[in-house]
Amino acid sequence: MWSAISNIISGAIKPVTDLIDNMHTSDEEKAKAHKELTKVQNSLISQVMEHEEEQIKAQKEIITAEIKSGWLSRSWRPILMLTIVAIVANNYLIYPYLSMFTEKVVVLDLPNKLWNLMQIGVGGYIAGRSGEKIVDKWKGNKNG
C-alpha cells in the first residue's frame, strides 16, 4: 500500500523532475532543485503516512471502546461475519453435497448488500492489520 502511495506521488512529481533536467542551467542548480523536490516528495509521503496512522488509531479506539462496553457491543461484528460465512458455506459446500442425497436442503438467500458487507468487513480487517504493521515498520525505520 505504501509503495503504491509513493509511486503515485513520484509519478505526480516526475514531470517537474523532467522539467528540471531540461532546464538550461548549471548542473549545480539542477542538483539543488532535485534535492528540494526530493524533500517535498518525502514530506508528502510522510504526511500521507501520518494521516493513515491517525486513521488506524481512531479505528483502534473505536474497537477498544466496543470491547470495553460489553459482550454484545464487541461481538456483533464477528457474529455478523460468521453468519455470512455460514450462509456461504451452506450454499457452496453443504447444499451441493447434501442435494445429491435429498431434496430437503435449501439454498439460503444472500443479498448482494450482505455479500458486499462481508467483503468490506474482511477487507477492512486485512487493510487495518496491514496498515498497523506498515506504520509500525515505518516508525521503526524512521526512528532507527
| Structure confidence at residue 76 as a pLDDT band (50, 70, 90) | confident
Confidence of residue 101 (pLDDT cuts 50, 70, 90): very high
Residue-averaged pLDDT of the chain: 80
- Give the pLDDT band of residue 144 (cuts 50, 70, 90): very low
Q: Which residues fall within 8 angstroms of residue 87, CB to CB, at 6 or more apart?
A: 108, 110, 114
Domains in the chain: boundaries: 2-69+111-143
Residues 4, 10, 11, 13: is their CA dihedral positive or negative?
positive
- For residues 66 and 74, the answer to whether their CB atoms sit within 8 Å is yes
Cut 0.95: pTM above it: no
Q: What is the pLDDT of residue 100?
A: 92
User: How many other CB atoms sit within 10 Å of the CB of residue 56?
Assistant: 19
pLDDT digits (tens, 9 = 90+) for 117-126: 877 777 666 6
- pLDDT above 90 coverage of the chain, percent: 11
pLDDT at 54: 87
